[in-house]
């Protein structure tokens, strides 16, 4: 019997932004293994996105790869329209698209600040708002946002990133409260994952703080993906407005 026939997300349709690599790629494949049809989106990287699409298809799940910039509402509307035209519904949205440009606080430019807010905070808003008519009509939906430990505890060199991620936590709590009557759960995951972004941050901290290689322990994206499966499935039907942090002990 195939995974698709027995999966926890059998028959569900999911959108994963930032889906061409790292956490997004791992989550998309985990969803596919559980029987979901998965649309992966990214602002660029057509080849990487197509590779993920092929990996999903190899798991005998339906797949779509769409270039879409979360900061541009028209592109997100086209993404949502394409998914609905292809599969008729949207059950899960993972707002994972993100960027990181470490810099000391006094070095952050207005343009960098605006870009960080646009990708993380406005992007989460755009995607959430775009899927709401479908989820409300279905009277069911799961929205999973991605924040970061720096939004909860503070860090060095990521004031703009942390501020945007903190806004996502507040957005999650408010959206969860507003969408309860429609049976739409909105939750947030705060991972410490081994990705290209954390490689950049580690190099920056080594340069500015003298931290040693291996001083911080990261979780692999594959190890984090099951938490996204939990929040996407029926086991989390009575959990909303929460932020769950994932890190190594």
Short-list 7, 4, 1, CA closest to 226? 7
Short-list 145, 226, 133, 130, CA closest to 185? 145
- Is 161 one of the catalytic residues? yes
What are the strands, taking DSSP E only, across the chain?
Answer: 13-17, 37-42, 63-67, 92-95, 141-146, 184-191, 243-246
Catalytic residue among 161, 171, 204, 231: 161
CA pseudo-torsion sign 167, 172, 174, 179: positive
- 219 vs 159: CA distance, rounded Å: 23
Q: Are 143 and 93 contacting, i.e. CB atoms less than 8 angstroms apart? A: yes
Q: Which two tokens stand for residue 164?
A: 């945007």
Residue 77, helix vs strand vs coil:
helix
> What distances in angstroms separate CA 104 from CA 108, 155, 213, one per listed residue?
7, 11, 20
Partnered with residue 95 across adjacent β-strands are: 145
Active site residues: 161
């Amino acid at each position: 019997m195939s995974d698709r026939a027995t999966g926890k997300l059998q028959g569900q349709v999911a959108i994963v932004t930032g889906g061409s690599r790292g956490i997004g790629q791992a989550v998309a494949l985990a969803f596919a293994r559980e029987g979901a049809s998965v649309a992966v989106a990214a602002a660029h990287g057509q080849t990487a996105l197509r590779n993920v699409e092929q990996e999903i298809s190899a798991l005998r799940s339906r797949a779509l790869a769409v270039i879409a910039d979360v900061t541009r509402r028209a592109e997100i509307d086209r993404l949502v329209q394409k998914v609905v035209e292809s599969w008729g519904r949207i059950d899960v949205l993972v707002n994972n698209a993100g960027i990181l440009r470490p810099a000391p606080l006094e070095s952050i430019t207005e343009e960098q600040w605006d870009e960080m807010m646009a990708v993380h905070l406005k992007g989460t808003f755009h995607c959430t708002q775009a899927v709401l008519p479908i989820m409300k009509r279905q009277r069911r939906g799961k929205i999973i946002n991605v924040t970061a430990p720096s939004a909860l505890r503070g860090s060095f060199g990521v004031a703009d990133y942390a501020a945007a991620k903190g806004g996502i936590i507040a957005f999650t709590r408010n959206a969860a409260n507003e969408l309860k009557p429609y049976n739409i759960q909105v939750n947030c995951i705060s991972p410490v994952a081994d990705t290209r972004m954390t490689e950049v941050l580690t190099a920056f901290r080594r340069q500015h703080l003298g931290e040693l290689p291996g001083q911080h322990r990261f979780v692999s994206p594959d190890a984090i993906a099951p938490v996204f499966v939990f929040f996407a499935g029926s086991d989390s039907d009575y959990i909303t407005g929460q932020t769950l942090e994932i890190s190594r002990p």
